[in-house]
Structure 1
Amino acid sequence: MAEDAAPQSRYAANRAGLAEAARMAEEAGRTGRAGKLRAMEAGGTAQFLAFDGRGKGRAVEVFGELESADRVAVLVPGSDTTLDTYQRFRAGAVALQQRLQAEHPRSAVVAWLGYDTPGTVSTTVLTAERADRAADELGPFLDRLSRPAGPGSQISLLCHSYGSVVCARTQTGPAVTDIALFGSPGTGADSAGELPTGARVWAGRGGGDWIADVPHVRLGGIGFGPDPVDPAFGARPFTAGPGGHSDYLKPGTASLDSLAAIVLGTTGTGGGTGGAGTADAAPTTTSEAPHA
């Protein structure tokens, strides 16, 4: 389990903390934030492993039954993801969980807003400073998450936009079998083989994603270098369809199908034309050895 206390106890404690944060925001005249926090309570059914209402806020929410799951997806968001924009992040997690459950009931999704994300229009989004701090939090979290995992249990990291910079810096143990980078500005590494993981590394980008126009360069501490969907980077491509930067986890999309297949272990290298991860080829069932 992700924390030492029983998850149900943590869920109840964090719901209480969430309600208190909403009350305090209301008393401070922050009615917009208060309303968003109340929406996060989800009628008293939300399952938060962690919650912090200070500043932009942090939250780690579980969808599904984490205690019995043998396929767990951990979503790592990109820039501008805060408590004020949380419902957008949550919607993607819900869509993924519903997609997984349709094929594999023993699955769970963890929405990990465990770091202070940079603003899309800011200088911080151009450097790895926040990603480095986030990786220091994410690595230990994944270790705790994997402790009770039985034989055959697998954790997948699904990393969107600036979240792919975070994942590329995160040390992972053997329970993390797959890392998927999508809508990525780059990782700061020159190749998939440089990432501190033994997991398979995947990359995909939607045909309408504006991130394709971001220069994939690195000058000093600015920028993140090679494009992960470039075949030279060495990641396994997955089908991402024609969607835009915020569409990867929308219901009915090819990208959601591909990410679910990666989590469930029912896809191979995908492939196709036009660059890694941009083709419309269907996932295969080929089994491949973990990325070295």
Structure 2
Amino acid sequence: MGFAPRYHRSEGARRRAGRWRRAALAALITGAVVLPLSGAVRPEIPAPPPASLAPLSASTLDEAYAANRANAAEAARMAAGHHDRARAATDRSLAAPARHLLAFDGRGSGQVTEVLGDLGRADRIAVLVPGSDTSLDTYGRFHAAAAALYGQLVRQAPAGTRTAVVAWLGYETPGTVSTTVTTTGRAEQAAPRLRALVSGLRAIAGDGPRLSLLCHSYGSVVCGRAAAGLAVDDLALVGSPGTGADSAAALRTRARIWAARGGDDWVENVPHLSADLFGTTVGFGTDPVSPAFGARVFAAGDGGHSDYFRPGTTSLTNLARIVLGETKAVTHD
């Protein structure tokens, strides 16, 4: 359910892979109802603890960026000493002077919050919340999605409108092929962290900027768990298996709720169920693009599960319109 690249595959191969993943995920969810639940095993990669930071504000942003870059550089050295060349390369790239990290933790599967644009002066801020299989080891594709959105915002924004994108890998995402991806457990752990991020962004930018959450796949479950009372203007669910709520109204947020699904997205065939099993909720309830849910359904084109932020797509254009507040221009299915 992450941002896996699919740009160079033939249409036939894409559809065969989509059918395989649809069948596999449906079987996985069915199995999760009757099999014991277990967590995914993550590699333990050594890294320093996160940097100690002053409370975030516009005046402390540069200090936070510098401290987190230094922490990423130290994580790169430790990963190299552990003979993990791929992780060392990722950490090293995040330590580059041009990167703006609000948070960084290189331990285990890793977490990072990165800013694209001038957060302290932005009028429109988008927060990307990723789905499963997103970690420091796959961060490049998540960053590419954030960069594509930022580029689209720059192109579409009216003159004088300043934008920023926050790529928030602030929780341990589930694996796509795991029972954790069928439950709300990881989302419930992540929700307080997402709420803290939004509070931090408001402390930095104030109440004036328009703030949108763009939630992909399992990330929409995280957003659903965090939504109640959250100080955001728009919440967009793309490629969503559900939010854990029966309706948009049940999210209890003042934000406008949007939903979209691409024509070739295998998540369409995920069973929309919700059941309690030994104290754990399995499944995520009502399909967000269904009339019963009550979201504002917008067009996403004919792309697949990993295509929502691909340059040139209908979905990316519409997501940028939502972030910019140009909601009358959003095209609907």
Note the alpha carbon deviations across 1:222-258, whole angstroms, 9 max, x for none: 1011100001100001110111111101111100001
Tell me the equivalent position of 1:52: 105
- Alignment match, 1:21: 75
Any stretches of 5+ residues in structure 1 without a counterpart?
273-278, 280-292
The one-letter code of the counterpart of 1:83 is: L
After superposition, residues 1-292 of structure 1 pair within 5 angstroms as 3-4=56-57, 6-41=60-95, 43-104=96-157, 105-150=161-206, 152-171=208-227, 173=229, 175-220=231-276, 221-268=281-328, 270=330, 279=333
Structure-1 separation of matches of 2:228 and 2:154: 25
The structure-2 alpha-carbon separation of the partners of 1:151 and 1:17, relative to structure 1 and needing over 3 Å to count, comes to: closer
CA distance in 1 between partners of 2:200 and 2:228 (Å): 11
User: What is the distance in 2 between the residues matched to 1:178 and 1:131?
Assistant: 19
Q: Which residue of 1 aligns with 2:26?
A: none
| Number of aligned residues | 272
Distance (Å, rounded) in 2 between the aligned partners of 1:65 and 1:28: 35
SS in 1 for 2:126: strand
Contact 2:143 2:167 in 1 (8 A): yes
**Cα offset, 1:173, TM superposition:** 4.9
Task: Tell me the C-alpha RMSD between the 2 structures.
Answer: 1.8
The superposition leaves residues 160-213 of structure 1 with CA deviations (integer Å, 9 ceiling, x where unpaired) of 000000000114557410000000011111000000311000000000111001
Give 1:2 shift. 8.1
> In structure 2, how many angstroms separate the alpha carbons of the residues matched to 1:62 and 1:121?
30
Does structure 2 retain, via aligned residues, the 8 Å contact 1:73–1:156? yes
* Identity rate, percent: 57
**Contact 2:156 / 2:320 at 8 angstroms: preserved in 1?**
no
Structure 2: gaps spanning 5 or more residues: 1-53
Q: Which has the larger radius of gyration?
A: 2
1:152 deviates by: 4.2
How far does residue 149 in structure 1 lie from its aligned partner after superposition?
A: 3.8
Query: Structure 1 or 2: larger helix share?
Result: 2
Q: Which residue of 1 aligns with 2:17?
A: none
TM-score between both structures, scaled by the size of structure 2: 0.78
Preserved contact between residue 204 and residue 238 of structure 1 (Cα < 8 Å): yes
Quote the offset at 1:47 in angstroms. 0.2
